[in-house]
Amino acid sequence: SRLDIDGIFIYIGLTPNSKFAFDLIQTDEYGYIITNEEMETNIPGIYAVGDVRKKSLRQVVTACADGAIAASNAQKYIEKMKS
């Protein structure tokens, strides 16, 4: 059959690719990395962003925002370590 559509969203699932962090960083029961609003994990200096972290909305725009927040905070963390 044929569908007349204007767009499509590809759904690839909800399983986070976070197994690399299980022995180090705190995750929830589904494998999402737990952060605060500053993208900080339970380990100082380690940040998590995007769909791998526990949050309510998983979209490209929120992942980009997470990255900007983490980058800013990582820079502050490094500057603090230098002083």
In a domain, 56, yes or no: yes
Task: Report the C-alpha gap between 52 and 63 in whole angstroms.
Answer: 9
Q: If we measure between CA atoms, which residue out of 21, 24, 28, 25 comes closest to residue 56?
A: 28
Q: Residue 47 is part of a domain; what is its CATH number?
A: 3.50.50.60
pTM for this prediction: 0.81
Q: Establish if 14 belongs to a structural domain.
A: no
For 13-26, what is each residue's pLDDT tens digit? 778 889 998 899 99
What pLDDT score was predicted for residue 65? Answer: 97
Taking CA atoms, 43 is separated from 8, 22, 26, 70, 78, in Å, by 39, 12, 9, 14, 14
pLDDT reported for residue 61: 95
**Tell me: the pLDDT tens digits for 29-76?**
999 999 999 999 999 999 999 999 999 988 899 999 999 999 999 999
Contact present, 20 and 33 (Cβ < 8 Å): no
11 within domain boundaries: no
Total domains, the chain: 1
Q: Would residue 9 count as lying in a domain?
A: no
Which pLDDT belongs to residue 15? 86
